[in-house]
C-alpha cells in the first residue's frame, strides 16, 4: 500500500499577533508539506474564550498572507485562507467527550473552584512536585451524577489518567520521549462553558482532519503525553510528532518582548522583506548541513526535511536578519524596488513630489549596494529628493578648506558650459579644472560632494551629480558657497 501523502496543520490560538516562533512553526509545516507533496491546513484554536482578542484572527491571516505561506484547505474551500475555527465545532468535541465518559475514560467533575484551590494549597504545603486533581468525582455514582446535572450544578469533564503507567512516543527531533502517568493530571477536557480545552480539541481535530505529522514548538512537548493518552483512549492512530527547538535571545534568555520585537507585524512595519524574514526564520532550528544561509523559498522547499531540524535552542540574531534583508533587497529586480520605493515616498515628506521612473531607477542603481531597507533610499540619500539643509559637521572639518569656495566657483563655471553632460563629462570637466589650478582633484571632489549631498559618504560623486542634473548641481554649489564662505 502506498503511504498516504502527509497532511499537516498550523494551529494558532488567536491571542493578538503572530509571534516569530509561530511564523517558524507555520513555515516548517509549509516547507514540509510542499517538500512532500502534502497538504497544509490552517486551523484556528479559539476555544479559550478568556484569551480571545478581537480582530486577532484577521490579523493572523493578514500576517500569514503577507508572509507568502499559503494553505490548502479550510471549510469554505476556494479561498486559501478559510481556516477551520474550533469555536464552530463545539458539538463535535462534546460528542467525543461523551464517548470517553461512557467508557469510563473520562468523568464528570463537580468540584467547586474553592475546593480545587484548597486542594492545590494542601498539595503545595506537602511540597508535592505538581498539583493534581485527587479524582474525588471519579467515584460518584451514576445516580449522584444525574442528580447534580439535573439540579444545574456546574461541571467539567476530566480525563481519567490511570496511575503507574508509562506514556511514550518517538519524536522526530527529540527521539524517544517518556512520561509517567503519575505526573499527569486528570486534565479537564470539556470546560463548564461547554468549550473543549486545547488538548481535547487539538487531538479530535488532528484525528478528524487526518493529520499525519504534528509539527509544533517545544513548549507543547509537556502536553503531548495527554494527547497520547487521548489517542490511545479513542483507539486512534497517532500522528508523527516533531517538537521544534525553543527560540532564544542572544543572551540565551527566552525570546521575549522585553528584549526586542517578537511580533511578525513589528518586523513588517519596520520594513523587513518577507523573503528575508522567511529565510531568517527557516534557519532558526534548521540548516542543510552546510554553511549556506541565503535561501529563496523554492530552495527551502526543495531542501527542507525534519531530520535536519536540531534539538538545541535557536538564537535570534538580529544582525543576521539585517544582513539577509540587505541580500534579498539587493537581488530584487529594480522595477520591484521601484514600486516599494514609491510606496515609501508616498508615506514620506516627499509625498507631494512627482519623480519619474527613470529618475528613481537611477537612484536605485547607485544605492542598492548601500541600503538594507527600502526606506533607506530616502533616509540615507535624502539629497536625491531635496537640497541638503545641513552639512555634516565632522566631514566639513576634514574636507572643507579655505580655498574650497573659490575652487567650487570655478568648477561651477566649468559645469555651466557643458551641454547635456554625461557622468563622464562631469568627471572630465573636474579633471580639467584641477589641471588648470594645478591642484589635486580631491580639492574639488570633496567640496563638491559636500555641496550636492551634505555628507561624506555615498555613491560616487559623479553619479550623484549626473542624477540630480546640471541645474540642481549648480544651484547647490551656489548654496554651499553662500553658506560657508566667510
Where along the sequence are the contacts to ligand GLU (CB under 6 A)? 11-13, 45, 198, 202, 216, 220
Task: Give me 55's grid cell.
Answer: 480582530
Query: Is residue 226 flagged as an active site residue?
Result: no
- Annotated catalytic residue, options 99, 254, 257, 398: 257
Q: How far apart are the first and last CA of the chain?
A: 90
How far apart are CB 60 and ligand GLU at their closest, in Å? Answer: 10
Q: Which lies closer to ligand GLU via its Cβ, residue 198 or residue 295?
A: 198
CB of residue 219 to ligand GLU, shortest distance in Å: 8
Cα separation, 121 vs 203, in Å, equals 31
* 8 Å CB contact between 467 and 384: yes
Task: Report the nearest approach of ligand GLU to the CB of residue 244 (Å).
Answer: 10
Supply the minimum distance, in Å, between the C-beta of residue 73 and ligand GLU.
Answer: 16
Query: Minimum Å distance from CB 13 to ligand GLU?
Result: 4
Closest approach of ligand GLU to the CB of residue 305, in Å: 19
- Cα–Cα distance list, 437 to 89, 424, 440 (Å): 85, 20, 9
| Residue number, 11 or 61, with CB nearest to ligand GLU | 11
Question: For residue 68, how many C-alpha atoms fall within 13 Å in the half-sphere facing its CB?
Answer: 13
Q: Smallest gap, in angstroms, from Cβ of residue 197 to ligand GLU?
A: 11
- Return the number of the residue (160 or 202) whose C-beta is nearest ligand GLU: 202
Q: Which positions are annotated as active-site residues?
A: 257
Amino acid at each position: 500500500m502506498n503511504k498516504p501523502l502527509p497532511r499537516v496543520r498550523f494551529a494558532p490560538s488567536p491571542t493578538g499577533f503572530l509571534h516569530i516562533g509561530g511564523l517558524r512553526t507555520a513555515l516548517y509545516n509549509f516547507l514540509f508539506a510542499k517538500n512532500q507533496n502534502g497538504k497544509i491546513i490552517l486551523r484556528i484554536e479559539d476555544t479559550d474564550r478568556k484569551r480571545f482578542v478581537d480582530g486577532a484572527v484577521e490579523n493572523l491571516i493578514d500576517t500569514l498572507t503577507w508572509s507568502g505561506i499559503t494553505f490548502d484547505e479550510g471549510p469554505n474551500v476556494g479561498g486559501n485562507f478559510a481556516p477551520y475555527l474550533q469555536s464552530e465545532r463545539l458539538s463535535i468535541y462534546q460528542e467525543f467527550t461523551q464517548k470517553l465518559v461512557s467508557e469510563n475514560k473520562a468523568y464528570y467533575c463537580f468540584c467547586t473552584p474553592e475546593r480545587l484551590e484548597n486542594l492545590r494549597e494542601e498539595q503545595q504545603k506537602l511540597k508535592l512536585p505538581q498539583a493534581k486533581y485527587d479524582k474525588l468525582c471519579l467515584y460518584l455514582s451514576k445516580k449522584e451524577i444525574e442528580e447534580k446535572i439535573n439540579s444545574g450544578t456546574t461541571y467539567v469533564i476530566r480525563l481519567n489518567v490511570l496511575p503507574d503507567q508509562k506514556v511514550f512516543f518517538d519524536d522526530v527531533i527529540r527521539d524517544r520521549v517518556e512520561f509517567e502517568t503519575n505526573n499527569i493530571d486528570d486534565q479537564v477536557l470539556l470546560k463548564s462553558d461547554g468549550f473543549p480545552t486545547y488538548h481535547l480539541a487539538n487531538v479530535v481535530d488532528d484525528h478528524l482532519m487526518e493529520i499525519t505529522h504534528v509539527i509544533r514548538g517545544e513548549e507543547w512537548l509537556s502536553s503531548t503525553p495527554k494527547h497520547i493518552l487521548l489517542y490511545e483512549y479513542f483507539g486512534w492512530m497517532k500522528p508523527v510528532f516533531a517538537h521544534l527547538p525553543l527560540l532564544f535571545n542572544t543572551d540565551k534568555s527566552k525570546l521575549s518582548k522585553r528584549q526586542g520585537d517578537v511580533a511578525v507585524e513589528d518586523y513588517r512595519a519596520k520594513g523587513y522583506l518577507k523573503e528575508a524574514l522567511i529565510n531568517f526564520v527557516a534557519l532558526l532550528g534548521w540548516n542543510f548541513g552546510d554553511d549556506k544561509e541565503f535561501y529563496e523559498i523554492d530552495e527551502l522547499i526543495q531542501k527542507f526535511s525534519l531530520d535536519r531540524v536540531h534539538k538545541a535552542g535557536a538564537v535570534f540574531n538580529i544582525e543576521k536578519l539585517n544582513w539577509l534583508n540587505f541580500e534579498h533587497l539587493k537581488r530584487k529586480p529594480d522595477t520591484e524596488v521601484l514600486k516599494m520605493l514609491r510606496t515609501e515616498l508616498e508615506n514620506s515628506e516627499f509625498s507631494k513630489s512627482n519623480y519619474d521612473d527613470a529618475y528613481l531607477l537611477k537612484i536605485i542603481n547607485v544605492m542598492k549596494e548601500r541600503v538594507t531597507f527600502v526606506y533607506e533610499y530616502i533616509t540615507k540619500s535624502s539629497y536625491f529628493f531635496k537640497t541638503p539643509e545641513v552639512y555634516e559637521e565632522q566631514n566639513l572639518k576634514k574636507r572643507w578648506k579655505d580655498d574650497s569656495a573659490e575652487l567650487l566657483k570655478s568648477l561651477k563655471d566649468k559645469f555651466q558650459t557643458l551641454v547635456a553632460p554625461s557622468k563622464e563629462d562631469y568627471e572630465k570637466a573636474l579633471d580639467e579644472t584641477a589641471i588648470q589650478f594645478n591642484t589635486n582633484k580631491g580639492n574639488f571632489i570633496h567640496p563638491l560632494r559636500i555641496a550636492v549631498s551634505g555628507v561624506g559618504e555615498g555613491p560616487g560623486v559623479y553619479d550623484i551629480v549626473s542624477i540630480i542634473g546640471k541645474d540642481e548641481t549648480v544651484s547647490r554649489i551656489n548654496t554651499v558657497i553662500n553658506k560657508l564662505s566667510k
